[in-house]
Amino acid sequence: MDFSENERKEIIDILKSRKIIKAAVLPNTPECIPAEDFLANFWNYDKSPYVKEKKLKGQSIHKDYCATMNARIHIYWMKRIKGRELGSITKDDVKAFFDDPAVKTLAPKTINSIISSVTVPLKWAYYNNLIENNCFDGIIKCANKSRQRMILTMEQASAVFKTDWENDSAKLANAVAMYTGMRQGEIAGLRVENIGIDRLYVKHSWSKYDGLKCCKNGDEREIPIAPQLRDALIAQARLNPYGEGMQGFVFFGLKPSQPTDPQNWLKYLHRALKSTGYQNPNEICFHSWRHLWCSRVCDIVKG
């Protein structure tokens, strides 16, 4: 007996409703797209239809976010979906991730990001009629409780800036973070034009994927600074060899029109902490300065 397309779909729906099968993929349909190809392209910033759609609707999406999600797909999902069609993936495939013993070693925020790296594409595919399986509703994510971030005391912070540093530029970047609460990318994105007489104008953040972009949450602001810090920043900016004037980066890199790699600032901070006798330097991250600054501001307000 020959079946029409509608009859074939009806048969599949009956078998699924009676729980005889979980999913079925008809040939020569969008559901036949290899899942590996679809997911790899979905988070490719330059090729993704999802990114294109977000931009057309005036929504922001950054290259570093796409790169992170693409890495999640390749590390955690490619081995699970290898050889599968897009339409064959079910909610059970997504839930099975939580049964992996290795998952228990990951932070809740990381686990949720890994889940989103696959459910966001599947949701987009579902609402664009590429698949018929709803693989995203009802997935219970982890409670997004971040691990406690360790911060220095004011005495420890004072000691670390009194010790000798291997890199003066890294020392200055860390000092800026402590005295202003600026994020790492915002400090990397500082240009000469952002240094005022008695304040910094925080208008951009630097990302190795996006270059200069807007601050997190569009948070442009002015931060008062002491004359000593301003003078130190001006002195650092004058070392920039590229002759870029007011557009030059304060913490310039090895190439024109880009800052240094801010990851180095943490490396030199850890070395400085070690020289002061701090027991576990690796528990301190660069963002800890922002938490220290916020706690000091709260203390002043309460006082």
Distance CA(216)–CA(204), nearest Å, equals: 9
Claim to verify: residue 175 and residue 55 sit in the same structural domain: no
Q: What is the pLDDT along the chain (303 residues), one digit of tens a residue?
A: 676 777 767 877 787 788 776 666 666 676 788 999 999 999 999 999 999 999 999 898 999 999 999 999 999 999 999 999 998 898 999 999 999 988 888 989 999 999 999 999 999 999 998 888 888 888 888 887 666 778 999 999 999 999 999 999 999 999 999 999 999 999 999 999 999 999 999 999 999 888 999 888 777 899 999 999 999 999 999 999 999 999 999 999 999 999 999 999 999 999 999 999 999 999 999 999 999 999 888 777 666
The backbone torsions φ and ψ at residue 81, rounded to the nearest 5 degrees and listed phi first, read -110, 5
159 and 279 assigned to the same domain = yes
Q: Are residues 228 and 298 in the same domain?
A: yes
Among 87, 110, 127, the domain-final residue is 127
| CB of 269 closer than 8 Å to CB of 160 | yes
Answer yes or no: is 250 within a domain.
yes
CA atoms of 176 and 258, how far apart (whole Å)? 19
Give every CB contact of residue 261 below 8 A, 6+ residues apart in sequence. 208, 253
Reading phi first (left if > 0) and then psi (alpha if -120 to 50, else beta), residue 137 is in beta
| Residue-number span of the structural domain to which 48 is assigned | 5-127
Identify whether residues 166 and 278 lie together within a single domain. yes
- Assess if residue 134 is contained within a domain: no
**164 and 53, same structural domain?**
no
The CATH number for 191's domain is 1.10.443.10
Same domain, 205 and 263: yes
By CB atoms closer than 10 A (0-12, 13-18, 19+), residue 275 is middle
Whole-angstrom CA distances from 80 to 76, 93, 173, 191 are: 8, 8, 43, 45
Q: What is the pLDDT of residue 301?
A: 65
Residues 6+ apart with CB under 8 A from 226: 179
Residue pair 90/133 in contact (Cβ under 8 Å)? The answer is: yes
Sign, CA dihedral 25-29-32-33, equals: negative
Shared domain check, 170 and 87: no
Q: In this structure, how many other beta carbons lie within 10 angstroms of the beta carbon of residue 185?
A: 20
| 3-state DSSP assignment of residue 204 | strand
Are residues 90 and 206 both part of a single domain? Answer: no
Within a domain: 149: no
pTM of the model: 0.76
Own/partner pairs, 226-233, CB within 8 angstroms, 24+ separation: 226/179, 227/198, 229/175, 229/176, 229/179, 230/195, 230/196, 230/197, 230/198, 232/172, 232/175, 233/172, 233/176, 233/190, 233/195, 233/200
Domain assignment present for 143:
no
Please state, in angstroms and rounded to a whole number, the distance separating the CA atoms of residues 254 and 260: 7
The full DSSP string for 110-127 is HHHHHHHHHHHHHHHHHH
- Residue 275, H or E segment: helix 263-275
* Closest to 259 measured CA to CA, from 267, 268, 249, 247: 249
141 lies in a domain?
A: no
Q: Are residues 209 and 284 in the same domain?
A: yes
Q: Give domain status of residue 147, yes or no.
A: no
CA distance 182 to 205: 10
pLDDT at 165: 97
